[in-house]
A and B are shown apart, each in its own frame.
Chain A
Amino acid sequence: MEKSTPLVLTGLAVTVGLRTGLFNIGAQGQLLVGAIGAAWAGYNFQMPTLIHIPFAIVFGMLCGAAWASIAGALRAYRSVSEVITTIMLNAVAIALVDYLASQPLKEADQPLTRTPEIAETAALPDIGIVPSGFVIALFVSLFFGWFLARTTQGFRFNTVGMNPSAANYAGIGVKKTIFLAMAVSGALAGMGGAVETLGITGRFEPSFNAGLGFDGITIALLARANPIATIPAALLVGTLRSGAASLQFRTGIEPEVVDVILALTLLFVAAPIVGRLLFRNRATKQTTVSSGWGNS
């Protein structure tokens, strides 16, 4: 579950994007920015636990949101494909956090590239064997399940995702909605990074967060952009990932086989969509063709 926690959140981040018709490949970059933001907020301040944890998480979310907003603004107001910008911003984010962790925010008097350890007051405790970050992630995904299905803003996200022109005709501010959805998506990814930093790693080290954001894409697709379904999907990916070392220990199978399994899973999940494209004529007679990932 430790491994699944950030995955639920990055999965959600990609999900919210997909529902609004945005393919956010940049969850990795947003997560990194959020993680280092939370680490900074975690070690730089002294305050009581009850304030410190939310403060650090919210700060991480703001960092992630700000990072995603760059791509969001470009998409909404300049029509630059978010797929391209988020991928490119990933690379920028990696370089940025490397710089931050090796220069201004580096822990003094030691050679490693990393920030100091967060204050104890900012550390997320475990509830029994369940990391409290997982509980947070659970609530957040339930919230978004409700948000996307039952609120006006959620309806706007969905409508823009299904058909921007219709949404525009119906009086929804499409540009604003796209910008907002991207920021929310970034905030969720940033939250994933923050929870990971505060709950597990205790500090920011560039190599700590490898691949979490990219697994988020797998999870969102696996969950067919359903916020609630990201939980089992993230558990699946997290379990596979954490089992990799045991697998090698017990059977001698290379840990990379997990990546292969995940790729195959994704392939099979995507198969119906590909099939629909290939056999469009027959398929349209039976089902309606959807324009978004989440509406089948």
Chain B
Amino acid sequence: MHRKLLVAGFAAAALVLAGCSSDSSESSSEETAVAEETTEEQVEESEGGEEAAASVTTDDSDCAAPENYCIGLVTDTGKVDDKSFNQAAWEGTLQAAEKVGGFAKFIETTDPKDYANNIAQFAQANYDTIVTVGFLMAEASIAAAAEYPDIDFIGVDQFQGETIPNLTGLVFNEDRAGYAAGYLAGLMTQTGKIGAVLGTDTVPPVKLFGEGYKVGAQAANPAVDVTLVYHEPNNAFTDPEWGAAESRKQLDQGADVIFAAGGLTGNGGLIEIAKDSGAGTSVFCIGVDVDQYFTVPQAAPCLLTSAEKKLREGTEELVLLSYDGAFPGGNFFGPTGLAPFHDTEAAVPADVQAALAEVLTGLQDGTIDTGGLALLDN
């Protein structure tokens, strides 16, 4: 027994020591790398910052070299194949890396206390651009941007109150996605009544989704009757029972298209609507943020589309801007749109699809005015 203990103790001690020694060597190599970087930066500046687009970076052994471009991504607690924010951001990052011949790598956070450490892994390896996913990481991103002023940080879904030059929050015009969803709902409704079950209106993106939806629906069908219900601010996004109950209520009152936006609260609504006997033929639901056909498969029978924030495209665009040295800082508005119809495609008439496509282009090029941030005053 005692011998076993001793062995276990040694093993543990050896592991700890190994950890320490690698740490110290890491920090010393980091110092030298930082020194290299500063000299190289000066060289780069004197050359006028020309991009060596032809070179392809295949690993991160020398990210500090100006010809090498490295992008790191730190996930929110989740995997890069979560079919949601993490995956979309990672795919965007990969696409951008491919375009510029850069090298991309991710770390999947398992413990929310590790956000800073995981960002530091990339920063200490002199990565050029670091993507952090999800608003839970907002504080860690701000701290990291201050600590590593030479690295560009992309905060996916992180609204920036103050402008930090090397940190750009990827945010979205939710009102446009909501408008498109509302327009579709307005065209699809048979009863002339549509509804929306939403998280709290004290969170601006949610209110923009909701009010945009209303404006869009009225643009498609001026006679339509739109009911918006917002959850009270407390646990607004974690109340699926409420979402289900409110959806049921709206269905009973004759609404036949319902937009559910508000995390788990909205998902509860989607799942409830999918259970309705008319799901997919006379009753439809619309999801939010990402293509919820994948994130909430139970909703597939009624899911018409999702009012989507195009994270993949937005992330890609920002990475490219960072690569070009035109990193904007502050907030960057990514594209929005609607997800594919999937199972309900047959239920959407061709003329509705055509009209919707027109509206989507109109929203994108700005010829359609949703009312923008003024909707928040409604």
Where the two chains meet, the residues of A that have a C-beta atom closer than 8 Å to any C-beta of B are 102-103, 111-113, 200-201, 205, 207-208, 210-211, 222-224, 226, 229, 232-233, 235-236, 239-246, 248-249, 252, 254-256, 296
CB–CB A236/B15 < 8 A: yes
CB–CB A102/B235 < 8 A: yes
* CB closest residue in chain B, given A234: B12
CB–CB A233/B8 < 8 A: yes
User: 17 extra interchain contacts, Cβ-Cβ under 8 A, other than A224-B5, A245-B110, A245-B118?
Assistant: A102-B238, A224-B4, A229-B5, A229-B8, A232-B11, A235-B16, A236-B12, A241-B111, A245-B114, A248-B108, A249-B107, A249-B121, A249-B122, A249-B125, A255-B110, A256-B110, A296-B1
Closest 9 CB pairs of A and B: A232-B12, A236-B12, A232-B9, A249-B121, A207-B112, A235-B12, A245-B118, A255-B110, A239-B15
CB–CB A244/B113 < 8 A: no
CB–CB B108/A255 < 8 A: yes
Asked whether any CB of chain A lies closer than 8 Å to the CB of B234, the reply is yes
Knowing A232-B8, A233-B12, A235-B16, say if A244 contacts B110 (CB, 8 Å): yes
Kindly list chain A residues whose C-beta atoms are within 8 Å of the C-beta of B125: 249
Kindly list chain A residues whose C-beta atoms are within 8 Å of the C-beta of B112: 205, 207-208
Most buried by A among B1, B106, B108, B111: B111
Main secondary structure of the interface of A (DSSP, over half): helix
In the complex, what's the smallest C-beta–C-beta distance from B23 to chain A, in angstroms? Answer: 9
CA distance A245 to B77 in the complex (A): 12
CB–CB B234/A245 < 8 A: no
17 A-B pairs within 8 Å (CB atoms) are namely A102-B234, A102-B235, A103-B235, A112-B136, A222-B8, A223-B8, A233-B8, A233-B12, A236-B11, A242-B114, A244-B110, A245-B109, A248-B108, A249-B105, A249-B118, A249-B121, A249-B125
CB–CB B1/A224 < 8 A: yes
Kindly list chain A residues whose C-beta atoms are within 8 Å of the C-beta of B118: 245, 249
CB–CB A200/B136 < 8 A: no
How many of chain B's residues have a CB under 8 angstroms from any CB in A?
A: 32
In the complex, what's the smallest C-beta–C-beta distance from B50 to chain A, in angstroms? Answer: 30
Kindly list chain A residues whose C-beta atoms are within 8 Å of the C-beta of B8: 222-223, 229, 232-233, 236
CB–CB A245/B121 < 8 A: yes
Most buried by B among A205, A226, A229: A229
CB–CB A207/B77 < 8 A: yes
In the complex, what's the smallest C-beta–C-beta distance from A22 to chain B, in angstroms? Answer: 22
Kindly list chain B residues whose C-beta atoms are within 8 Å of the C-beta of A255: 108, 110
Knowing A111-B203, A208-B112, A248-B107, say if A229 contacts B9 (CB, 8 Å): yes
Pick from B5, B107, B122: contact of A226, CB under 8 Å? B5
Kindly list chain A residues whose C-beta atoms are within 8 Å of the C-beta of B203: 111
CA distance A232 to B114 in the complex (A): 22
* CB closest residue in chain B, given A240: B15
In the complex, what's the smallest C-beta–C-beta distance from A74 to chain B, in angstroms? Answer: 30
In the complex, what's the smallest C-beta–C-beta distance from A124 to chain B, in angstroms? Answer: 15
Which chain B residues in 1-37 approach chain A with CB under 8 Å? 1, 4-5, 8-9, 11-13, 15-16, 19
* CB closest residue in chain B, given A241: B111
CA distance A130 to B107 in the complex (A): 26
CB–CB B234/A200 < 8 A: no
In the complex, what's the smallest C-beta–C-beta distance from B140 to chain A, in angstroms? Answer: 12
Kindly list chain A residues whose C-beta atoms are within 8 Å of the C-beta of B19: 239, 242-243
Asked whether any CB of chain A lies closer than 8 Å to the CB of B253, the reply is no
Asked whether any CB of chain A lies closer than 8 Å to the CB of B117, the reply is yes
CB–CB A246/B113 < 8 A: no
B 88-124 binary contact with A (CB < 8 Å = 1; else 0): 0000000000000000011111111110011001100
CA distance A116 to B1 in the complex (A): 47
* CB closest residue in chain B, given A259: B110
Which chain B residues in 158-197 approach chain A with CB under 8 Å? none
B 330-369 binary contact with A (CB < 8 Å = 1; else 0): 0000000000000000000000000000000000000000
CA distance A201 to B11 in the complex (A): 29
CA distance A269 to B274 in the complex (A): 49
Kindly list chain A residues whose C-beta atoms are within 8 Å of the C-beta of B113: 200-201, 208
* CB closest residue in chain A, given B111: A210
Kindly list chain B residues whose C-beta atoms are within 8 Å of the C-beta of A200: 113
Which chain B residues in 117-135 approach chain A with CB under 8 Å? 117-118, 121-122, 125
CA distance A208 to B77 in the complex (A): 11
In the complex, what's the smallest C-beta–C-beta distance from A96 to chain B, in angstroms? Answer: 14
Which chain B residues in 291-345 approach chain A with CB under 8 Å? none
In the complex, what's the smallest C-beta–C-beta distance from B213 to chain A, in angstroms? Answer: 21
Kindly list chain A residues whose C-beta atoms are within 8 Å of the C-beta of B117: 242, 245
Kindly list chain B residues whose C-beta atoms are within 8 Å of the C-beta of A210: 111
B 49-72 binary contact with A (CB < 8 Å = 1; else 0): 000000000000000000000000
Kindly list chain A residues whose C-beta atoms are within 8 Å of the C-beta of B235: 102-103, 113
CA distance A223 to B113 in the complex (A): 26
In the complex, what's the smallest C-beta–C-beta distance from B62 to chain A, in angstroms? Answer: 15
Kindly list chain A residues whose C-beta atoms are within 8 Å of the C-beta of B16: 235, 239
Kindly list chain A residues whose C-beta atoms are within 8 Å of the C-beta of B12: 232-233, 235-236, 239
In the complex, what's the smallest C-beta–C-beta distance from B12 to chain A, in angstroms? Answer: 4
* CB closest residue in chain B, given A238: B16
Kindly list chain B residues whose C-beta atoms are within 8 Å of the C-beta of A229: 5, 8-9
In the complex, what's the smallest C-beta–C-beta distance from A61 to chain B, in angstroms? Answer: 21
Kindly list chain B residues whose C-beta atoms are within 8 Å of the C-beta of A252: 105
Knowing A112-B136, A245-B117, A246-B121, say if A254 contacts B108 (CB, 8 Å): yes
Kindly list chain A residues whose C-beta atoms are within 8 Å of the C-beta of B9: 229, 232
CA distance A13 to B1 in the complex (A): 21
Most buried by B among A207, A224, A232: A232
CA distance A256 to B107 in the complex (A): 12
CA distance A236 to B112 in the complex (A): 20
Kindly list chain A residues whose C-beta atoms are within 8 Å of the C-beta of B234: 102-103
CA distance A189 to B106 in the complex (A): 34
CA distance A192 to B150 in the complex (A): 38
Which chain B residues in 211-261 approach chain A with CB under 8 Å? 234-235, 238
In the complex, what's the smallest C-beta–C-beta distance from A253 to chain B, in angstroms? Answer: 11
In the complex, what's the smallest C-beta–C-beta distance from A97 to chain B, in angstroms? Answer: 14
